[in-house]
Chains A and B, each alone.
Chain A
Amino acid sequence: GEQVEQRPPHLSVREGDSAVITCTYTDPNSYYFFWYKQEPGASLQLLMKVFSSTEINEGQGFTVLLNKKDKRLSLNLTAAHPGDSAAYFCAVSNQGGSAKLIFGEGTKLTVSS
């Protein structure tokens, strides 16, 4: 079945620095890709959802890149601030029914001021 590997498990950066989290997946039929953010003591919340037809997706303060050839998904926070400190999870699903998200192992990001 699908496997999603996420790196790094821990990431510490200073305020204003960029932070990059990468996921690789195995199933070539994967079609929908998600980034979820989990702040300490809070539930997971969707950060961005991307589809396999779009390679670059920009949000507020971050960019999501999808490389289907390499089966690689990345989240790039361009200028991190302490409020970005959280756990980040990538997740992958295919086009079929019965939504079954396969999650990466998560990255704990710490942004120091």
Chain B
Amino acid sequence: ETAVFQTPNYHVTQVGNEVSFNCKQTLGHDTMYWYKQDSKKLLKIMFSYNNKQLIVNETVPRRFSPQSSDKAHLNLRIKSVEPEDSAVYLCASSRGGWGAETLYFGSGTRLTVL
């Protein structure tokens, strides 16, 4: 049963445009994440938030910015997309931010930059 909802499912845009992806979880979890899955299926963490506070910020270009209005929502904005941003962006949540926590993933947003 899906409990981490991502919109949109797909997005096609041109280089230089701004895009925003939304993520909402209904599990009551405190921690949310954005992962990037590239064309080779490699998953890399980008950001994580615990109760609206940024706790992990990996080395990503400054054009990426996460936005959290409350602990159930974590959006991702890309200010000026580049071709290398084409990927699937996966949102996830977990009960807490500890290493033992299970992550629950959304179905992803596939971004194509032309």
Residues of chain A whose beta carbon lies under 8 Å from any beta carbon of chain B: 31-32, 34, 36, 41-46, 49, 51, 87, 89, 93-101, 103, 105-106, 108
- Complex Cα distance, B56 from A74, in Å, reads 28
- Complex Cα distance, B110 from A41, in Å, reads 11
Q: Which of B43, B90, B94, B101 has the most CB of A within 10 A?
A: B43
B106 within 8 A of A: yes
Residues of chain B whose beta carbon lies under 8 Å from any beta carbon of chain A: 2, 4, 31, 40-45, 48, 50, 55-56, 90, 92, 94, 96-108
Sampled A-B contacts (14; CB under 8 Å)? A32-B99, A43-B107, A44-B90, A93-B99, A95-B99, A97-B97, A97-B99, A99-B97, A100-B45, A101-B45, A103-B43, A106-B41, A106-B42, A106-B43
B48/A105 in contact, CB under 8 A? no
Taking CB atoms, residues of chain A closer than 8 Å to B4 are 43
